[in-house]
Structure 1
Amino acid sequence: MFSAQTYDVAIVGGGMVGLATAIGLAMADLRVVVIDAGETQTLSGEARLRVSAINKASERLLNYLGAWQYLDESRAAPYSKMAVWDKDSLGKIGFDADSMSESHLGSIIENDNICQALAKRAGEFSNINHIENQRLANIAFGERESWLSLENGDNLSAALVIGADGANSWVRSQCNIPLTFWDYGHHAVVATIRTEIPHGDTARQVFLNSGPLAFLPLFETNLCSIVWSLPPEQAKALQNGETQAFERQLTAAFDGRLGYCHLASELQAFPLKMRYARHFARHRLVLSGDAAHTIHPLAGQGVNLGFLDAGAIIETITELHAKGKDIGDYAHLRSLERWRKADALEMIAAMEGFKRLFDGSNPIKKAVRDIGLNLVDNLSPVKTLFMQQAMGNKGKLPTPCQPQ
C-alpha cells in the first residue's frame, strides 16, 4: 500500500464490479483507491444465498485480470446444460455445451467467492489502496480533479471517480443523477435447496403463471440455488409459512423435476425493480454496475452486464491514459457512456419483453410461447445465436472480455 492521498481513479464500492475495475486499471499503471463500505468475507461452510451465473465473457474478464485462479473452484459449479419450459404446456427448449463444442455454458458461483478472489488479486498491486469498512461523507468535482472526504476524516483527490456502489448508489444520489425506474411488481425469493435427484450440472428455469422459477446447480450434486419471482403477497406468505408447506409448493411448481425439494437455508425475498440512470457519465464521474442499471433476474445477466461495464471502463481509461489524455474529461468519456447505455437499454428491453410474454396464463400468449420455444429448439442456427448471446459471445465486447 502507498500513503499518498492523490490518485488517478477513486472507485466507490468494493463489490465484484468495483474490484474488477480496480485491478484492470492498476494493470495499466494507474493509481487506484477503492472505498469499500464493508469488508471481504471469508468463504467457508454452507453455500451463500447470493450467487451469480457467470457467462463466458465474464469468465474471460476474470482470467484477464488474473483473479480466476484465486477462486475456490471446489465451490464453483460449471454447468453444461440448460433446460427451459413453460408450466402446463408443451413449450420447451434445451441447450447443451457439447453441441456447441464448449466445455461448459457458464458457472454458478457465490458472490463472496468472486469477491474473495478479486480481493486477493487486488492485494498483489502496490498501486491499489483498498480501504475497507469506510464510507464517503462528501464528494465534490472541480475542473481538474475531484475531492472525496471519508467519514473518518481522511481526504482524497482523484482525476476520475467511478460509482460502483450498488443499486441504492450513494454516489448517484449525491450527484443528483435522475433515475428512470419501475417496479416489476414481483419479489425474488432466494434460497438454497437440497434436491432428491442430482442436478446433473444443468441450469433449469420454468415459467409459471406467477413468474419464473430458476434452479441453479451448486457445487454439491444435490444442491441448488433458487430464484423464484412472485407477487409480493405470495413471497411474503412463503416466508412466513411453514417449511414443509414451502417445500411442497416448490416441488409442485418445479414439476418434481429434481424430486422432493428440501429447504437448506433461510428464505430471503427482495423487491425487483428496473433502474436506469439518466447519465452514466459526467465530468470526472462514471457510474458502473448496479449503480447505473438493474434488470430483472430472469436471464441471470445482471452481474454479467456489470462486468461488461468494468471491461469497457478498463479498455477506455487504459487507452486515454496511454495517449496522455485527461481520463476524467467528460468529452473523453462520452463514447464510453453511449456504449454502456446502449448495451443496458438493449438488455432492459429484452428482459421486459420476455417478462411480458411469459407473464400470466392468457391462452394466446401461452400458444405464442409454446410455438416460439419449440421453434427455437428445433432451428439450429437460431438456437446457436440465442446460446452465443447468453454465453456473452455476441455484441460489442470490451477487449478484456473477448475470446483470445
Structure 2
Amino acid sequence: MAKKDGSAEMFDVVIAGGGYVGLSLAVALKQGDKGLRCAVVDPKPMDQLYKDPRASAIAAAASRMLTQLGIWQQIAGEAQPINEMIVTDSKLRDAVRPVFLTFGGETTEGEPFAHMMPNGVMMPALYKAAKKLGVSFFAPGIAETFRTHADHVELSLDGGPVLKARLLVAADGVRSRLRDLAGIRTVNWDYGQSGIVATVKHERPHNGRAEEHFLPAGPFAILPLPGNRSSLVWTEKTSDAERLVRADEFTFELELERRFGHHLGALELDGPRRAYPLGLKLARDFVKPRFALIGDAAHGIHPIAGQGLNLGFKDVAALAEVLIDARRLGQDIGSFDVLERYQRWRRFDTFQMGVVTDVLNRLFSNDSDVLRAVRDFGLGLVDRMPGLKSRFIKEAAGFAGPVPKLLSGEPI
C-alpha cells in the first residue's frame, strides 16, 4: 500500500502472520485503540488459512479473552466443553488401563477449564472482526527482509511494497524467518517424535470427557468434539508416525483401535490424518528494538499439556496491554524500554512451561518399569490431594501467575 507520492504508508504495528495469534493481536490492539494503524501480512490468502480441519483446546482464560474481543459469542455454539479429564499409564499390550488421575472440568461454577474448538470456525470469526475494525491485510504477502531505523522499521514484501511501522511483530510460526533475520537465537532440540492429528467418529457419546493415555511411544490424547466425534493427538516415533499416515485406512484404524480402546464403540476416521514433527524451540529473546515475537515464533513446545496455542494467547494479551498502556502514556510503542515490559512478563512463564512439558515427555515416553512405578505413584498421590489438583486445573485454565486483563475477561 503506497501513498500517491509513491512512499510507503506508515503503520503503528505490522504483524507478520495471519493465524489465530496474529489475528487476535490485531483485534485486541484495534479494540484497545481505534486510532492505531495495524496491518497483517501472511503468505497465503486468508480464506485458505481458515480451511483447517484440526481443532484446538481453548483454555478458560483464552475464552474469556475471546469473549472480551467479541469473538467467543459468535463461535461458542461450535465449542465442546471439557467436563472431565482422566489420565492413564500403561503398556500398549495391557488389557486394562488403570486411571491414576482424574480432573473435574470447572474452574468456577459453570465455567469449564477448557473447550475444544474447530479451527475452521475460529479463524473466519477473527478475520471478519479484524476487517470490521479496519485492519489492513497484505495476503498473500511474503515478509522477505526488514531493516530497523531509529524511529521505524521497514518490512519488504517479496514482489510487493515496502511497509513501514513503529513496531514489527513476528507471529510467523515455529520456523520464523523474521526471528532468524532479527538474529534471535533459540534453544531447541528434536524429540524424534511426531504428532499424528486426526478426527474420529465413534458410536457412543463421550460426555465431554478428555482422555490422556501415556503409552511407551508417547501420549495418546482423545479430546471431545461436538457430537460423537473426538480429536486425536497421537504421539509416535517419527518413523512409525510416517508409516501410519501412509498406511491404508484399514491398517490405520486397526492401530488406532489398539490405542483408543472400545469404550466408545465402533470407530471411523473422519477426515485427513497428518503428522507433525515434535520438538522444543524457545527464543532466547522475545524482543529487539521495534521487533517482538509472539506465539510459536517465540516458543514451540510438546503438545503433552495442550498449552501451545494458549501460550500464544497469553502473549497476545500481555503485548496488547503493554502497547495500549504505552500509547495512553504517549510513549513510543516500538522502543526497547516498552517492549522489555512484555519480555519480562512472558519469557519466564514460557521457559517454565517448556521445561515442564520437556520433563513430562521424557518421563512418560518410555517403556521403563521402574519409571512407570515412580510416575504412577506420583499420579496417584496427586489424585488424592485436592489442593494440588486445583492448582493444576488453574494452570491448565490459564490463570496461573500474573494474568493480563484480557485473560481475566477485562478490557484493556
The TM tier, using the shorter chain, reads over 0.9
Partner of 2:55: 51
Paired amino acid for 1:41: D
What letter matches 1:381 in structure 2? G
Aligned position for 1:86? 89
Deviation (angstroms), 1:42: 7.7
- The residue number in structure 1 matching 2:116 is 108
Mean alpha-carbon deviation: is it higher for 388-397 or for 252-261? Answer: 252-261
1:191–1:226 contact (8 Å) kept in structure 2: yes
One-letter amino acid of the structure 2 residue matched with residue 180 of structure 1: V
Alpha-carbon distance between aligned partners in 2 of 1:42 and 1:64, rounded to the nearest angstrom: 26
1:48 deviates by 4.6
Task: After superposing the two structures, state which structure 1 stretch, 341-350 or 256-265, moved more.
Answer: 256-265
Deviation sequence 1:280-326 (CA, Å, 0-9, x none): 10000001100111000111100000000000000100111111111
Distance 1:59 1:74 in 2: 13
Q: Distance in 1 between matches of 2:319 and 2:304?
A: 26
In 2, distance between residues paired with 1:63 and 1:306? 16
1:158 to 147, 165, 168: 165
- 8 Å CA contact 2:280, 2:301 repeated in 1: yes
Superposition deviation, residue 248 in structure 1: 2.0
1:305 corresponds to: 311
**Residue 181 in 1 paired to residue 181 in 2?**
no
State the TM-score, normalized to the length of structure 2.
0.92
Q: Does the CA contact (< 8 Å) of 1:70 and 1:118 recur in 2?
A: no
- The Cα shift of 1:403 comes to 4.8
Provide the C-alpha distance between the structure 1 equivalents of 2:139 and 2:171, rounded to a whole number of angstroms: 14
Amino acid at match of 1:79: I
Judged with a 3 Å threshold, the aligned counterparts in structure 2 of structure 1 residues 2 and 30 are, in CA distance, closer, same or farther, namely: farther
CA distance in 2, matches of 1:99, 1:93: 17
Tell me the TM-score normalised to structure 1 length: 0.93
Measured after TM superposition, the shift of residue 373 of structure 1 is 1.4
Cα pair 2:60 2:111 within 8 Å, conserved: no
Q: Secondary structure of the residue that 2:233 maps to in structure 1? A: strand
Task: Identify if the C-alpha distance between structure 1 residues 179 and 218 changes in structure 2 by more than 3 Å, giving closer, same or farther.
Answer: same
Q: Does residue 24 in structure 1 map to residue 31 in structure 2?
A: no
- Distance between the aligned counterparts of 1:91 and 1:153, measured in 2? 56
CA displacement 1:181-215 (0-9 Å, x = unmatched) = 10011000111111122211111110001110011
2:79 — aligned with what? Answer: 76
Tell me the CA shift for residue 368 of structure 1.
1.6
1:370 maps to which residue?
376
Q: Secondary structure at the match of 2:112?
A: coil
Match 1:385 to one of 388, 391, 401: 391
Task: Kindly indicate whether the alpha-carbon contact (under 8 Å) linking 2:16 and 2:41 is maintained by their aligned counterparts in 1.
Answer: yes
Shift of 1:261: 2.2
List structure 1 runs of 4+ shifted beyond 6 angstroms. 1-4
CA contact (8 A) 1:24 1:314 kept: yes
Tell me by how many angstroms 1:177 deviates: 1.8
Q: Is the 8 A contact 1:70 1:120 kept in 2?
A: no
- Choose from 108, 117, 125 the match for 2:125: 117
1:146–1:158 CA contact under 8 A, matched in 2 = yes
* Contact residue 283 and residue 299 of structure 2 kept, 8 A: yes
Find the aligned partners of 1:43 and 1:149 in 2 and give their Cα distance: 22
Distance apart, 1:379 and its partner CA: 1.4
Number of residue equivalences: 399
Q: Compute the displacement of 1:138 (Å).
A: 2.6
Q: Structure 2 vs 1, CA of residues 147 and 42 (structure 1 numbering), >3 Å: closer, same or farther?
A: closer
Hey, what's the Cα distance between the residues in 1 that align with 2:52 and 2:78?
10
Q: Determine the structure 1 residue equivalent to 2:154.
A: 147
Residue aligning to 2:402: 396
Which string of whole-angstrom CA distances, capped at 9 and with x for unpartnered residues, describes residues 94-120 of structure 1?
Answer: 122369534422111122322111111
Q: 1:157-183, CA deviations, whole angstroms, 9 ceiling, x for partnerless residues?
A: 111100011111121122222222100
Taking only the aligned residue pairs, the percentage that are identical comes to 35
1:3-402 correspondence to structure 2 within 5 Å? 5-27=9-31, 28=33, 29-41=35-47, 48-71=52-75, 73-87=76-90, 88=94, 90-97=98-105, 101-126=109-134, 128-220=135-227, 222-402=228-408
Deviation at 1:335, TM superposition (A): 2.4
- How far does the alpha carbon of each residue in 1:16-71 deviate from its partner, in whole angstroms, 9 at most, with x for none? 11111111111223111111222333899xx9532210001111111111222232
Asked whether the equivalents of residues 247 and 260 of structure 1 are also in contact (C-alpha less than 8 Å), the reply is no
Deviation at 1:257, TM superposition (A): 3.0
- The amino acid across from 2:361 in the alignment is K
> Structure 1, residues 369-397: CA drift from partner, whole Å, max 9, x if none?
21111211121111111111111122111
Q: Is the 8 A contact 2:27 2:130 kept in 1?
A: yes
Task: Tell me how far apart the structure 1 counterparts of residues 108 and 152 of structure 2 sit (CA, whole Å).
Answer: 49
Aligned AA for 1:316? V
CA contact (8 A) 2:74 2:125 kept: yes
